[in-house]
A and B are shown apart, each in its own frame.
Chain A
Amino acid sequence: MIIYLSLLDSREDHSKFTLLYNTYRHAMMHTAYSILNDQGLAEDAVHDAFVRAAKNFRKIGAVNSPQTKAFLIIITRNVALTIAKQNGRTLIFDEESTINAIADNTTDKDFENFDFDRIVQVIRQLPATYTDVMYLNVVEGYSVKEISAIMELGAEVVKKRLQRGRKILIDNLTKEGIING
Chain B
Amino acid sequence: MADSKFKRALNYSFQQEMDEIPPQYELERKYVFSHEFEEKMRKLIKDVNKKYVYAFGLVLPRYTVGVLLLIIAMAAVLAMRNRNMLDRSTARLLFSVAELIIVLIFGVSIKSAGTELTKTPQSAFSDSEEETAAPELEFTIPVSPLSYSKSNEYRTTTLHTVEYKDAVGRIIYYERISINGGLLTKIDTPEHINSCRVHRWEAIWFEKDGQTNLVWADSFYRYTLKGMCNIDMLMEMAESLYK
Which residues 1-54 of B sit at the A interface, judged by CB distance below 8 A?
A: 1-3, 5-18, 21-22, 24, 27-28, 30-31, 33-34, 36-37, 40-41, 44-45, 47-54
Contact: A120 with B28, CB < 8 Å?
A: no
Find the A residue at minimum CB distance from B8.
A116
Kindly state whether residue B119 has any CB partner on chain A within 8 Å. no
- Taking CB atoms, residues of chain B closer than 8 Å to A8 are 51-52, 54
Kindly state whether residue A29 has any CB partner on chain B within 8 Å. yes
Digit string of B135-166 for contact with A (CB within 8 Å is 1, else 0)? 00000000000000000000000000000000
Contact: A54 with B5, CB < 8 Å?
A: no
Kindly state whether residue A78 has any CB partner on chain B within 8 Å. no
Find the B residue at minimum CB distance from A31.
B21
Which residues 49-78 of A sit at the B interface, judged by CB distance below 8 A?
A: 50-51, 54, 57, 66, 69-70, 73
Chain B nearest CB from A117 CB (Å) reads 8
What is the bound-complex CA distance between A129 and B209, given in angstroms?
73
- Taking CB atoms, residues of chain B closer than 8 Å to A54 are 44, 47-48
Contact: B11 with A139, CB < 8 Å?
A: yes
Majority SS of interface residues in chain B?
A: helix
What is the bound-complex CA distance between A146 and B55, given in angstroms?
18
- When the two chains form the complex, which single residue of B5, B24, B31, B62 contacts A119, counting CB atoms closer than 8 Å? B5
- Taking CB atoms, residues of chain B closer than 8 Å to A38 are none
* Residue of B1, B41, B48, B51 with most partner-chain A CB within 10 A: B48
Chain B nearest CB from A15 CB (Å) reads 10
Which residues 2-52 of A sit at the B interface, judged by CB distance below 8 A?
A: 3-10, 13-14, 17-18, 21, 25-27, 29-31, 33, 39-40, 43, 46-47, 50-51
- Taking CB atoms, residues of chain A closer than 8 Å to B49 are 9, 14
| A29 and B31 in contact, given A13-B48, A70-B14, A120-B16 (Cβ under 8 angstroms) | yes
Chain B nearest CB from A152 CB (Å) reads 16
Contact: A124 with B18, CB < 8 Å?
A: no
Kindly state whether residue A135 has any CB partner on chain B within 8 Å. yes
Which residues 214-237 of B sit at the A interface, judged by CB distance below 8 A?
A: none
Number of A residues with CB within 8 Å of any CB on chain B: 49
- Taking CB atoms, residues of chain A closer than 8 Å to B22 are 30
- Taking CB atoms, residues of chain B closer than 8 Å to A151 are none
Find the B residue at minimum CB distance from A14.
B49
Contact: B48 with A17, CB < 8 Å?
A: yes
Find the B residue at minimum CB distance from A17.
B48
- Taking CB atoms, residues of chain A closer than 8 Å to B13 are 120, 123-124, 131
A-B pairs with lowest CB-CB distance, top 6: A112-B2, A26-B27, A108-B3, A119-B9, A43-B37, A123-B13
Given contacts A14-B48, A111-B2, 6 further A-B contacts (CB under 8 A): A9-B48, A21-B41, A26-B24, A26-B27, A66-B15, A111-B6
Q: List 26 A-B contacts (CB under 8 A).
A: A4-B55, A8-B51, A9-B48, A9-B49, A9-B51, A14-B49, A17-B45, A21-B45, A25-B41, A27-B27, A30-B27, A33-B31, A43-B34, A47-B44, A50-B44, A70-B18, A108-B2, A108-B3, A111-B3, A111-B5, A120-B13, A123-B13, A131-B13, A134-B10, A135-B11, A139-B11
